Amino acid sequence: MNKDLVGQIAVVTGAARGIGQAIAVALASRGAKIFANTPVTQLSCTETIQACRNAGGDAEEIVFDVSDSAAVDGGFEAIAAKAGKIDILVNNAGISRDGLLIRFKDEDWKRTLAVNLDGAFYCVRAASKVMIKARYGRIVNIASVVGQMGNAGQVAYVSSKSALIGLTKTVARELASRNITANAIAPGFIETDMTLALDEKVRAEHMKGIPLGRYGQAAEVASLVSFLVGPDSAYITGQVVGINGGMYM
């Protein structure tokens, strides 16, 4: 196993399960120390931490709500104080509250953007303060294919993920002189608890739009993140990398 992240400190938000858990385990297996984030109101990262250790790495839980600016600042200050640095940030935390535009509720709009966009902004701002001093950092934001192509019935989610791409590009330009890269990944349909729960007819309909004819795996997304935070991607910044089976080209 490649151990090119030995000695690095990685923060992964939304790491309790699914794609976030896979990312944490992948980075831990390559030697990074993981701070696995979850908000107070959701699942703990106990399973993620154990999986990281089983993969030969180290991890611990850090609890804060990404949509709470003060809580994010406190969380990152605690990580920096304990670990001495922050090398990698993966903004994976996200929610989706779906519905047609004309019926969409204000509170659902605000909550979706608060977690998916505000949360990423707060985390990038907090982490970059530490990265700038070290003149090194790797930031990866988990966007979505629908943030590139749009999707009916997901006005808030799509808006948040599209804006996250803009945030990524701006951060990349602002922080490049400090040897900090920022990239976004835009997954398509990925096999998670959420997609496994879908009706077979819905899944079959999805497959019609995927040239490779299958859902992606969380481990495939994690592998891409591992590349973007590793030494081989040092000249890549401000990019949106699709991992969608050809759903959007």
| Residue 191, amino acid | E
What does the pLDDT look like over 66-106, one tens digit per residue? Answer: 999 999 999 999 999 999 999 999 999 999 999 999 999 99
Question: Of 122, 136, 157, 215, which one is the catalytic site residue?
Answer: 157
Q: Could you tell me the domains of the chain?
A: 9-242 (3.40.50.720)
pLDDT band at 1, cuts 50/70/90? low
185 forms beta bridges with 142, 241
Q: What was the pLDDT predicted at 160? A: 98
Are residues 187 and 157 in contact, defined by beta-carbon separation less than 8 angstroms?
A: no
Q: Would residue 136 show up in a list of annotated catalytic residues for this protein?
A: no
User: How many other C-beta atoms are found inside a 10 Å radius of the C-beta of residue 87?
Assistant: 22
Are residues 16 and 38 in contact, defined by beta-carbon separation less than 8 angstroms?
A: yes
The reported pTM is: 0.96
Q: How far apart are CA 120 and CA 138, in angstroms?
A: 14
pLDDT band at 185, cuts 50/70/90? very high
Q: What was the pLDDT predicted at 230? A: 98
What does the pLDDT look like over 100-152, one tens digit per residue? Answer: 999 999 999 999 999 999 999 999 999 999 999 999 999 999 999 999 999 99
**Residues contacting 77, CB < 8 A, separation 6+:** 126
